Amino acid sequence: MMKAHTFLCAALALWGSAANAQQSVRLGAEVERIENPLLSNVSPGGATVVRLLPSYEYETQRDRIRSRFTLGAVLERSSNTQLLASRDYPSLGYTWGYTWPTASLELRASLAESATRNTELQDFGRVTVDSRERTVLAGATWTKELTARTRMALGFEDNRVSYDTPLLRGYREQEINSRFSWEASERTSYFIEPAHARLTPSGAGATSTLNRLLVGMTGELAPDWSLTVFGGQARTGSTQKRSDNVGGLRLNYAGSRISTAVEWARDMEPVGTIAGYARTEALRLRVAYQLTDKATVAATASRSRSVGFTSGTGSVISVTLENELAERWSSVLGVEDRRATDVVGATGRGWAVRAGLVYLFSGR
């Protein structure tokens, strides 16, 4: 009798969880022509890449517990493997959260792989060999509401990065961060963020530390405008100690048909070339216009830069047209222009054109 009661309770719990579950499946396929993918001074030609992008997400929420599971991959096949290798890039993630009346806890873990020809240009403005970058992350965040207008958050992250080329060095970064925020009004809040990180290179090498302190504010300038601005200082310690001013801003506008976003950031980030910290700067502008109820065109311009003996400057300009073909089907057309300048001033340029089809299902 006790076993039957236990089984009935478990079945009811599973039924209740399923009743509050949401899942989505996304299947994408695209063809992209890439000229000079590694942005060499003299273009060696290009490659045609056929890409499949399947992904799955399952999210549940019941009472105070919520969870989200994600599974995806990027499957690439190249017509010229001497320029671009044919690779598969899987991704996996899980997030679990629990909420109290005035506090919350979130635990997360993820694994993601990507191509260094993209990440190095976007993050540091420089070009490296075409290789695989793997990131394994585990973290936790605890948030507590101190008063009606004040909140505190404590977080920890363990981040492990590895590459499949000896030209880049893997590392492990452990970070403890905190945030204290105060709502001055319904539209404006202020925050302070101290953080400490420790970076250990794979194999032999000196350990680096990073101490960062940021102060900022976020507010609603108007019904369609929002702004976040912050600044502070970061200090790194290893064989050489260095202090730098860091900061950033985010300005967003969301209108009925037009939306824009401007982001600028200056920070200290871990770099695989030296397995240590380097100063980086990034600027990004995005403008989207809704042509019809089912079609949207977006233009994006970004510029990134890193400082040091591995310095570089990279820029990417792209235009994308997304069109809803049916209830669950949409198409994507895009063009992209890339440029990069290395530490000695040599410049390379490349472009890409892509066309894709996306199927999206979402339901219980």
167-205 pLDDT, tens digit each: 888 999 999 999 999 999 999 999 999 999 999 998 877
**Does the residue 346 lie in any domain?**
yes
CB 294 within 8 A of CB 323: yes
Task: Tell me what pLDDT residue 134 has.
Answer: 97
Closest CA to 198 of 189, 208, 188: 208
**Does the residue 43 lie in any domain?**
no
Task: Tell me what pLDDT residue 52 has.
Answer: 98
Residues found in the chain: 364
Domain range holding 223? 93-363
Evaluate if pTM is beyond 0.75: yes
**Does the residue 59 lie in any domain?**
no
Q: Is 75 helix (H, G, I), strand (E, B) or coil?
A: strand
Could you tell me where the beta strands, DSSP code E, fall in the chain? 21-35, 46-62, 65-78, 88-99, 103-115, 132-145, 150-163, 171-183, 188-201, 208-222, 225-237, 242-254, 258-271, 276-290, 295-306, 312-324, 329-341, 347-363
Task: Tell me what pLDDT residue 261 has.
Answer: 97
Task: Tell me what pLDDT residue 290 has.
Answer: 96
CATH number for position 274: 2.40.170.20
pLDDT > 90 fraction of the chain, expressed in percent and rounded: 74
**Does the residue 31 lie in any domain?**
no
Take residue 250 and report the two structure tokens written for it.
């985010």
**Does the residue 250 lie in any domain?**
yes
Pairing of strands 46-62, 276-290: unpaired
Buried b (16+ CB within 10 A) or exposed e, 50-84: ebebebebeebeeeeebbbebebbbebebebeebb
Query: What whole-number distance in Å separates Cα of residue 287 and Cα of residue 296?
Result: 11
Closest CA to 213 of 232, 198, 196: 232
Query: What whole-number distance in Å separates Cα of residue 21 and Cα of residue 9?
Result: 18
Task: Tell me what pLDDT residue 6 has.
Answer: 46
**Does the residue 32 lie in any domain?**
no
Task: Tell me what pLDDT residue 9 has.
Answer: 46
List, for residues 15-38, the tens digit of each pLDDT value: 444 448 999 999 999 999 999 998
Give residue 123's identity as a one-letter amino acid code. Answer: D
Q: Is 68 helix (H, G, I), strand (E, B) or coil?
A: strand
Segment 269-277 shows an average pLDDT of 83
**278 CB burial (10 A radius; 0-12, 13-18, 19+):** buried
Q: How confident is the model at residue 335 (pLDDT cuts 50, 70, 90)?
A: very high
Task: Tell me what pLDDT residue 347 has.
Answer: 87
Segment 293-312 shows an average pLDDT of 89
Provide φ and ψ at 100, rounded to 5°. -100, 175
- The residue that leads in pLDDT, 284 or 18, is 284
Query: What whole-number distance in Å separates Cα of residue 105 and Cα of residue 96?
Result: 8
**Does the residue 85 lie in any domain?**
no
The distance between the two most distant Cα atoms of the chain, rounded to a whole number of Å, is 79
**Does the residue 320 lie in any domain?**
yes
Task: Tell me what pLDDT residue 239 has.
Answer: 64
Closest CA to 237 of 203, 280, 214, 268: 268
Q: List alpha helices for the chain, DSSP H.
A: 2-19, 116-124
Segment 66-72 shows an average pLDDT of 97
Whether residue 126 has pLDDT greater than 90: no
Segment 226-231 shows an average pLDDT of 98
Using left for φ > 0, alpha for ψ between -120 and 50, and beta otherwise, residue 201 falls in beta
Query: What whole-number distance in Å separates Cα of residue 296 and Cα of residue 286?
Result: 13
Task: Tell me what pLDDT residue 8 has.
Answer: 38
Q: Domains in the chain: how many in total?
A: 1
- The residue that leads in pLDDT, 154 or 327, is 154
Cβ neighbors of 104 (< 8 A, separation 6 or more) are 97, 98, 142, 143
- The residue that leads in pLDDT, 303 or 9, is 303
- The residue that leads in pLDDT, 2 or 363, is 363
Buried b (16+ CB within 10 A) or exposed e, 167-196: ebbbbbbebebebebebeeeeebebebebe
Pairing of strands 132-145, 188-201: unpaired
Query: What whole-number distance in Å separates Cα of residue 282 and Cα of residue 121?
Result: 11
Q: What one-character-per-residue DSSP string does 297-361 give?
A: EEEEEEEEEE-STT-EEEEEEEEEEEEE-SSSEEEEEEEEEEEEE-TT--EEEEEEEEEEEEEEE
Query: What whole-number distance in Å separates Cα of residue 292 and Cα of residue 92?
Result: 35
Task: Tell me what pLDDT residue 303 has.
Answer: 96
The DSSP bridge partners found for residue 181 are 151, 191
